[in-house]
Amino acid sequence: MVIKEIFSQIYRINGRLSTKNLNPGVSVYDEKLIREGRDEYREWDLFRSKLAGAIAKGLNEVPLKENSFVLYLGASTGTTVSHVSDIVGINGLVVAVEISSVCMPPLIHLAEQRGNIVPIIEDSNHPERYSDVPKVDLVYQDISQRNQVEILLKNIKAFLKPDGYYMFCVKSQSIDVTKKPRQVYDEVIKELSKHTTVIQTLQLDPYDKHHMFIFGKI
Ligand SMILES: C[S@@+](CC[C@H](N)C(=O)[O-])C[C@H]1O[C@@H](n2cnc3c(N)ncnc32)[C@H](O)[C@@H]1O
């Protein structure tokens, strides 16, 4: 078995993206578990996680390591959250905000099993409602709302450390179905560039259609 650490706590195992399982023996979304000596890894599905897709498409940097604090907006049932939880480890923190009550039971179950995830049922349009969240190293957003950019900027302002980063999954169809995705992306990048430094942009096809992944800092 060939195991290569490509970013801190992110591995390629026989060519497949994986993270080290914080909760050995447990698969979160039916992903394959790979045992190697005392360690267990979880295969990271490129088609089910935009962060995995972005890494596969050539993301140059993942500013996460053990002990990082992350604010994750649009957690859903925790597919990507679980891999971020693996990366930051037991002394790190993933605050997982999700508006849908349907997603909450599996997200709460995941949090109970792992010990480094704090699920919050809330609307990310209102960061003042979860204002006790500590300052974070990364704001990650994957929310299909028309005002995605506004939501991101509000949360960055409220919670991102001055030397922190953001990762933003833009869904062009949620912003404006009448425009070509490229036009929507250009407008989003222009708006973000007024307030932040955009470091890298990646179109996520074929893993996610009509999505752009934007990596940046304040
Ligand atoms: C594409 S899914 C996220 C998938 C998830 N990031 C993953 O990779 O596993 C988008 C999620 O954002 C949630 N969402 C939409 N609007 C929201 C808001 N204003 N605040 C918080 N969550 C929201 C939806 O309920 C949905 O679960």
Residue 81 Cα to ligand 1 middle (Å)? 11
Percent of the chain with pLDDT strictly greater than 70: 100
Place of tokens 């992903």: 31
pLDDT confidence of residue 177: 87
pLDDT, tens digit, for every residue of 156-179?
Answer: 999 999 999 999 999 888 888 888
Residue 161 Cα to ligand 1 middle (Å)? 23
- In a domain, residue 14? The reply is no
- The set of residues, in sequence order, having a beta carbon less than 8 Å from that of 126 and lying 6+ positions away, is none
Q: Which atom of ligand 1 is nearest to the CA of 50?
A: 8
Is any ligand 1 atom within 6 A of the Cβ of residue 31?
no
Give the CA distances from residue 185 to residues 53, 69, 79, 206, in Å, rounded to whole numbers and listed in that order: 17, 28, 25, 17
- In a domain, residue 28? The reply is no
Residue 208 Cα to ligand 1 middle (Å)? 15
Distance in angstroms (rounded) separating the CA atoms of residues 46 and 54: 8
- In a domain, residue 34? The reply is no
- In a domain, residue 2? The reply is no
Give the CA distances from residue 207 to residues 32, 55, 85, 143, 203, in Å, rounded to whole numbers and listed in that order: 18, 11, 22, 17, 9
- The set of residues, in sequence order, having a beta carbon less than 8 Å from that of 127 and lying 6+ positions away, is 154, 155, 158, 159
pLDDT confidence of residue 179: 86
- In a domain, residue 8? The reply is no
- In a domain, residue 15? The reply is no
- In a domain, residue 68? The reply is yes
pLDDT confidence of residue 173: 83
Report the pLDDT averaged over residues 94-120: 98
- In a domain, residue 211? The reply is yes
Q: Is the pLDDT of residue 141 over 90?
A: yes
pLDDT confidence of residue 172: 83
* Residue ranges making up the domain that contains 73: 45-217
Ligand 1: which of 17, 19, 76 to mutate, judged by most atoms within 8 Å of the beta carbon? 76
How many helices and strands, by DSSP H and E, does the chain display?
6, 12
Distance in angstroms (rounded) separating the CA atoms of residues 197 and 218: 6
Is any ligand 1 atom within 6 A of the Cβ of residue 100?
yes
Report the pLDDT averaged over residues 174-191: 90
Read off the CATH number of the domain in which 102 is found.
3.40.50.150
pLDDT confidence of residue 85: 98
pLDDT confidence of residue 157: 98
Give the CA distances from residue 53 to residues 50, 87, 99, 152, 175, in Å, rounded to whole numbers and listed in that order: 5, 16, 24, 20, 21
Is any ligand 1 atom within 6 A of the Cβ of residue 143?
yes
Report the pLDDT averaged over residues 4-21: 97
Question: For the ranges 25-29, 66-70, 87-91, 176-180, which has the lowest average pLDDT?
Answer: 176-180
Is any ligand 1 atom within 6 A of the Cβ of residue 99?
yes
pLDDT confidence of residue 50: 98
Residue 132 Cα to ligand 1 middle (Å)? 21
Q: How many folded domains does the chain comprise?
A: 1
pLDDT confidence of residue 174: 83
Q: Is the pLDDT of residue 201 over 90?
A: yes
pLDDT confidence of residue 101: 97
Report the pLDDT averaged over residues 104-121: 98
CA-proximal residue: ligand 1, atom 17 (nearest): 99
Is any ligand 1 atom within 6 A of the Cβ of residue 169?
no
Distance in angstroms (rounded) separating the CA atoms of residues 215 and 68: 17
